[in-house]
Structure 1
Amino acid sequence: MAERRTRRSFTREFKAQAVKRLLDGGKGLSEVATELGIGTGQLSQWRTEHLAAGSAEALAARKADQAETQRLKREVKRLEEEVEILRKAGGFFRQGGRVTKFAFVSAERANHAVATLCRVAGASVSGFYAWLRAIPAVQTRAEAEVELRGQIGRIFTARRRVYGSPRVHAELCRGGLRHSRRRVERLMREMGLSALRGRRRTPRTTDSRHELPIASNLLARTFTAERPDQVWLADISYIPTGEGFLYLAAIKDMATREIVGWSMADHLKSELCIGALVMAIQRHRPPPGLVHHGDRGVQYASEPYRAVLERHCITQSMSRRGNCLDNAPMESFFASLKTEHVHQVSYRTREEARTAVFEYIEVFHNRQRLHSGVGYRTPAEARASMEGITMRSAA
């Protein structure tokens, strides 16, 4: 008999950020719902509730401002794209040999619209397609390599310039393009593309100087799980802003690498961590026996936090004092967040940082970023696959 799925519920913080992404991001209802892994009806209802609470006049002014902002963004994006095309064209024609404007358009059409390429290159769209029909179907090795460079550049840019050759190679394979990893590595090196590296280490946010109960270390650095919601890891980090620090508590599923719960605040009280735990429980309704592993910080040892764990039959585990490697996968997640996003921008306000971190976790990390620990799949794909296997085996 198939396992019955429990209806998920979401925290107020998640709903607010989801609606904010829908209203401010210039994307459609279906697109945002797909990005966040929720139903369109659910998101539409949240939006209706949000709009009903605001002023119609203020909303109209806001939409007008957003429309103008989006128009300006599109114009800037168009100009940036044209500059990028001109830069690529310069490098393309410096390679020498008998090359034409049409050859350049053909090489870059995987990255840009043909009409845009022809406009910038000063070529005719109809002429390009006539030329394309006239050339032989078999590419030369040089032409194939030019096209592969374009594919690599597109993936590298689309994935925020944080992918190294292993993940770029995995993306190519997912798209049906079979090339050796060494070839991809060589081309990325020649193109000057390399994954972003961290600039600094995450400071400690753990205060273990207390007399509260301490749980045993049940994992002992064995960071494996056969199925989702079997082992959860928890930790805290912070994001600097112009208004001060924004603290982030997160919970990671060891089987899927998904961030199943998170919470952000301007303080380090136990409520911060409880918010992340409640989000994770509401989303996935874990079965009894789940192991929750965190550090010895006062937030995780506090009575309110332990009460939530006990109420849901979750077993608590803690790292040894001052030993960050006992929770290495969470350290890895925060390092990726800082390297791939936080260190690349400066936030004026906590609200700016909150919106950016929400987008990184829910859209990029959980549903776009390929993770080597789950076979170069996204966490959402890994969970869907594992839950499908679990449901079939239970039938």
Structure 2
Amino acid sequence: MKREGIDVARCTVARLMRRMGLNGVVRGKPVKTTISDKATSCPLDRVNRQFQALRPNALWVSDFTYVATWRGFVYVALRQMLRICADVIDTFARRIVGWRVSRTAHADFVLDALEQALHDRRPFAATGLVHHSDRGSQYVSIRYTERLAEAGIEPSVGSVGDSYDNALAETINGLFKAEVIHRRGPRRNLEAVEFATLEWVDWFNNRRLLEPIGNIPPAEAEAAYHAQLEVVPIAA
């Protein structure tokens, strides 16, 4: 409604929803999924909870969560790129640039999500991209850190047992579970979770309105950033 220029109170929306028999999405309780390896050395925290960036391909945050199916648990890894578009609207976008679904929480499936992000975004080493995650053993594994180094990406890892150090990634995962998994109940199998995730990621990136970036979708905020870059040279 705000996007259409309609100013309405939250209580009014709640009252109308009750009248129409509509219920808001409620998030479930968080579950610990991070298993750190104390014997593995970790990179420094280069983000320090400052989840902001002035341009695309400056900061990626990563996390994974688990969801229940009728045939047991599967894991979902989501990779988000966080950016603030330095333009007239002064926004940042929260576009998901890589994801994978797996039956196990081995390092391979988060590495696959990283590969998808690298293929989709094709960042250059000179851009100074930082990749931030928690201290999960998958993200500090030798294979994962070596792949980051090959791509010219600077690793960053939060502290142990502090969700605020990777708050944005956990927020996106929370939205995914609330809007996809909890809303319609457990999926039948891994393939059903994959299809539901594919649909949700497309909707989230291209149609979901996010209040922190001005009630527009992530793709629209990113397009506005690039459009501004094209305008500046012409004006000069």
- Deviation sequence 1:77-135 (CA, Å, 0-9, x none): xxxxxxxxxxxxxxxxxxxxxxxxxxxxxxxxxxxxxxxxxxxxxxxxxxxxxxxxxxx
Give the % identical residues.
Answer: 30
CA distance in 1, matches of 2:108, 2:17: 47
Mapped pair 1:199 → 2:31: no
Corresponding position of 1:369: 208
Is there any run of 5+ residues in structure 1 with no aligned partner, and where?
A: 1-168
Match of 2:8 in 1: 181
Amino acid at match of 2:107: S
Distance 1:333 1:286 in 2: 22
Q: CA deviation at 1:239?
A: 1.3
Please tell me whether the aligned partners of residues 57 and 123 of structure 2 are also in contact (alpha carbons under 8 angstroms).
yes
User: 1:298 aligns to what SS in structure 2?
Assistant: coil
Could you report, residue by residue, the CA deviation over 1:210-262 in whole angstroms, capped at 9, with x for unpaired residues? 32220111111111111111100000111110111111111111111000111
Alpha-carbon shift at residue 185 of structure 1 (Å):
4.2
Q: Paired residue for 1:347? A: 187
Cα deviation, 1:343-372, whole Å, max 9, x if unaligned, reads: 12221211111111111112x111111011
Is the alpha carbon distance of 1:312 and 1:191 closer, same or farther for their aligned partners in structure 2, counting shifts above 3 Å?
Answer: closer
More helix by share: 1
1:261 pairs with one of 76, 85, 98:
98
Question: Do the aligned partners of 1:220 and 1:326 also contact (CA within 8 Å) in 2?
Answer: yes
* Structure 1 runs, 4 residues or longer, greater than 6 Å off: none
Amino acid at match of 2:157: M
Letter in 1 for 2:26: R
**Where does residue 213 of structure 1 map in the other structure?**
41
Partner of residue 357, structure 1: 197
In structure 1, C-alpha distance between the alignment counterparts of 2:107 and 2:211, rounded to whole Å:
33
Alignment of 1:49-68 (within 5 A): none
**DSSP-derived class of the 1:258 partner:** strand
TM-aligned CA distance change 1:386 to 1:241, over 3 Å: same
Deviations 1:312-340 (A, max 9, x none): 11000001011111111111111111111
TM-score by length of structure 1 reads 0.53
Unmatched tracts of structure 2, length 5 or more: 84-92
Q: Which residue of 1 aligns with 2:165?
A: 326
Q: In 2, Cα distance between the equivalents of 1:187 and 1:321? A: 40
Report the RMSD for the aligned CA atoms in angstroms.
1.7
Contact 1:232 1:251 in 2 (8 A): yes
Tell me by how many angstroms 1:384 deviates. 1.1
The one-letter amino acid of 1:199's match is: G
CA contact (8 A) 1:242 1:349 kept: yes
1:278 partnered with 2:126: no
Partner of 1:170: 2
Distance 1:253 1:394, change over 3 A: farther
Distance in 2 separating the partners of 1:228 and 1:331: 20
Instruction: Tell me if structure 2 keeps the 8 A contact 1:232–1:290.
Output: yes
- After TM superposition, give the deviation of residue 194 of structure 1 in Å: 4.4
Contact 1:231/1:291, CA 8 A, preserved across alignment: yes
Give 1:379 deviation, angstroms.
0.8
2:15 maps to a residue whose letter is R
The separation in 2 between residues aligned to 1:382 and 1:187, in whole angstroms, is 26
Establish whether residue 230 from structure 1 lines up as the match of residue 69 from structure 2. no
Residue 394 of structure 1 and its aligned partner are, at CA, apart by: 6.2
CA–CA distance in 2 between the matches of 1:365 and 1:278?
A: 20
The count of residues paired between Structure 1 and Structure 2 equals 219
